[in-house]
Every structure is written in C-alpha cells, then in structure tokens.
Amino acid sequence: MISRRTVLGTGALAAATLAAPSILHAQTKTLKITTWGGKWGDIMKATVLPAFEKEFKCTVSADQAFPYVPKLQASPKNDPLYDVLHTNSNEQWNCFTEGLVMDKITPKEAPNVADVYPWAASDKIVGVAIFTSAIGLGFRTDKGLTKPTSWKDLADPKLAGARGSYIIPVNSLGQCHLMMLGKIYGKGLQDLDAAYKALEQLKPIKLVDFTGQMEKMLLSGEVSMGVIHDSGVYRYDGQNQPVDFASPSEGVMALEQVLNVTPGSKVKELAFAYVDYMLRPDTQKLLAEGVWYSPANKKVKLDAKYDEKLLTTEAKVATLIQPDWKWYNARKEDIDARVTKILKG
C-alpha cells in the first residue's frame, strides 16, 4: 500500500526534478559584454569565453554588433545593456564623461591590474587597458621604398596618391595620426594648426573608414605606404605578403584595447572577475599570439617570434605615445569640421 508520506515524498522529488533546470537557470548569472569580431572574436568564442563560463559558472552574452556606445547610451543607467564595455580608449572616455563607465579598475577589484605596464592604467586610460597595438607606418616591400624611419616619410612626394590614412571623424587611427602630425610638425600632439597644415600637404591621400581596410589596401597595392597598427601587418607574417611595419623614430601611437565596467551593472563582481581573467598571463598570451596585440600584463612570456616584434619590455613600451582623448573628444566637432573641409574631395 502506498502511504501518504511516500506520495508526498515522490511528489516533492518530481517537482524538484522538474523545477531543477529553471532553478539552475535562475542561479546562473549572465555577464553581458562587448567584444571584437574577426580573429579576436573567433578565439574569444572558441576558447576564452567557454573557459570563463566554466570557471565562474555563468553565461556570457558577447555582443559583436556595432555600435556599442550608442546602444549603451540608450539603455537605462541602472540596468545597462552591458556589464563590461570593450572599446578603444577614445570611446571609453566618451562613456566616462557621460557616467556610463567607471573611472578606474584597481588591483582591489581585479588583482591582475597590479601586474600591468604603467601605460595600461595611466591617467590617459579610464578602466584598464588589456592590450595595445602600435600605430605606425605600413609599407609595400616590392615598390622600391626604403623602410620609413620617420612619420615625415609619409609626405614623400613619390607617394602622392599611393599613401593612405583614415577618415578622421570616424576612425581613431586617423585621429591619432592627426595628433602625431601636430607633434612632428608643430609643438606637440595638441598643436592642431600645425597638424591641419601638415594634413594639407599629404594630399592626395587615400582614406578608409574601417581600420581593417588599410591592410587590404596595402595587400592589394592600392596604397604603398599607410598609417596602420602593427597587428594589421604582423598577422600576415609567414604568408609571403610584400608588406612590413615600421615604427617611426618619433614614437608610435597607442591603440589600446580597454575594458571597463558599467556602474549600474547587476553583476559587478562577475564583471571584475572577467576583467581580471582577461589580464591573466595565459589569457593574455593566447590572445596576443592569436591577433598580434601587445599584452598589458608584464608577466606574460610570448614565444620568440612574437616577443621580437611586440611591445613586451619596458624599453619597448617607452616608445608608446598615449593621446589625451579627453582633450581630443572635447574638440572633436570642430576638428571634424576642419579636417572634412581640408580633405573634401
């Protein structure tokens, strides 16, 4: 005979079994992040994110669809669309000005921040930088050009119509280049009058809007020398492509990959854990060697071929020049109007 206790016990067990997935689901936190596409996105989706989810028993919703900042701006601050924002430094500063992201991420929140190079947590960075690329000059090795040693080499009259840069209002590499023109032809990165004058002298110049387009312009031979980040050239290492990268003697501009946490995040601890995870030496090595980015963590030991080219020592990172994006963003509208006028047509 089935007792009342057995019926109740069986019923409770059945209910628990049926409810288990939803209870588990309710306990599984979701971390909402932004991340890049391309090779970076492939490594993140195949290796980094699954490992993070397993270790922290969570799910990660990784948005790869631009534009991140307008979507974050349009979402409520107390329930933001993202918990962790991954962008370049210029956009992080915009978000910080609007109170959408935090000021700094300290070792207290993410212990691996203690091991980063000074540039990754400098006063030019909000949040923390996890990687950087060096913006310098890419060039064709089959066009009889000597390896450029200075930013001024881009102005060589022989390169008329075969030099390349970016549409400044929409691309931070173009913005970096403009500031660099101020430094080499004027009094410093903020000497805009000198920069505008120098920009005028670079015409005719081919301009692209997406960062990834410049490497294709170099590969196809449409451009013989152009402003580009080192990873855009190094990623063709060993593929017999006639392109190379040069770090000008005046220094290279930093194109930092920055992570930051949104103040209204409901899973802030998990967000900090993710930032910390991205700064772990093994994660850094995997991504640095996968996409040729220079790691922010000083303790990362890269394989020889990467170590030789990337910024992995104090001496090498000393060549990095970090723009003051707060200063630039405050003048962006005027700069955009001026450069559009200069480069019109």
Partner 1 sequence: MSAPLPTIRNKQPFDAGRATYLTLNGLLLAFLLAPIAIVLVFALNPTPYISFPPVGVSLRWFEKFFRTPEFTNALFLSLWVAGCVLVLSIVIGGACALALARGNLPGRSFLTAFFMSPLMLPAILTGLALFQSYLLAGIGRPVWGLIMAHTLVAVPYVIRTTLAVLHNFDRRIEEAAAVLGASPTRVFFEVTLPLIRPGVFAGGVFAFIVSFDQFPVSLFLVVPKGETLPVVLFNYMKFDLDGAIAAASMVSILLALSVVLVLERLIGLRAYVKL
Binding region for partner 1 (CB under 8 A): 36-41, 61-67, 70-71, 74-76, 79, 81, 210-213, 216, 219-222
Nearer to partner 1, 76 or 157 (CB): 76
At its nearest, how many Å lie between partner 1 and the CB of residue 323?
A: 21
Whether residue 91 contacts residue 34, with contact meaning beta carbons closer than 8 Å, is answered with no
CA dist 338 and 275 (Å) reads: 38
The conformational region for residue 5 under phi > 0 = left, psi -120 to 50 = alpha, else beta, is alpha
Nearer to partner 1, 69 or 116 (CB): 69
CA dist 345 and 204 (Å) reads: 10
At its nearest, how many Å lie between partner 1 and the CB of residue 243?
A: 11
Cα 240 to the center of its chain, rounded Å: 27
Q: Say which DSSP state 126 is in.
A: S
CA distances, 53 to each of 30, 46, 104, 219, 271 (Å): 9, 12, 25, 38, 12
At its nearest, how many Å lie between partner 1 and the CB of residue 38?
A: 3
Whether residue 80 contacts residue 268, with contact meaning beta carbons closer than 8 Å, is answered with no
User: Which residue in this structure is represented by tokens 């270790």?
Assistant: 55
At its nearest, how many Å lie between partner 1 and the CB of residue 224?
A: 15
Nearer to partner 1, 210 or 327 (CB): 210
At its nearest, how many Å lie between partner 1 and the CB of residue 56?
A: 18
Nearer to partner 1, 77 or 187 (CB): 77
Nearer to partner 1, 36 or 56 (CB): 36
Nearer to partner 1, 61 or 249 (CB): 61
Whether residue 218 contacts residue 185, with contact meaning beta carbons closer than 8 Å, is answered with no
Nearer to partner 1, 9 or 37 (CB): 37
CA dist 189 and 180 (Å) reads: 6
Nearer to partner 1, 164 or 251 (CB): 164
The pairing of beta strand 294-295 with beta strand 29-34: unpaired
Please state whether the peptide bond connecting residue 67 to the residue before it is cis, i.e. omega within 30 degrees of 0.
yes
At its nearest, how many Å lie between partner 1 and the CB of residue 256?
A: 17
At its nearest, how many Å lie between partner 1 and the CB of residue 103?
A: 25
Strand partners of residue 88: 257
CA dist 294 and 271 (Å) reads: 23
At its nearest, how many Å lie between partner 1 and the CB of residue 208?
A: 9
Nearer to partner 1, 217 or 254 (CB): 217
Q: How many CA atoms lie within 13 A of 316 on its CB side?
A: 15
Whether residue 214 contacts residue 138, with contact meaning beta carbons closer than 8 Å, is answered with yes
At its nearest, how many Å lie between partner 1 and the CB of residue 242?
A: 13
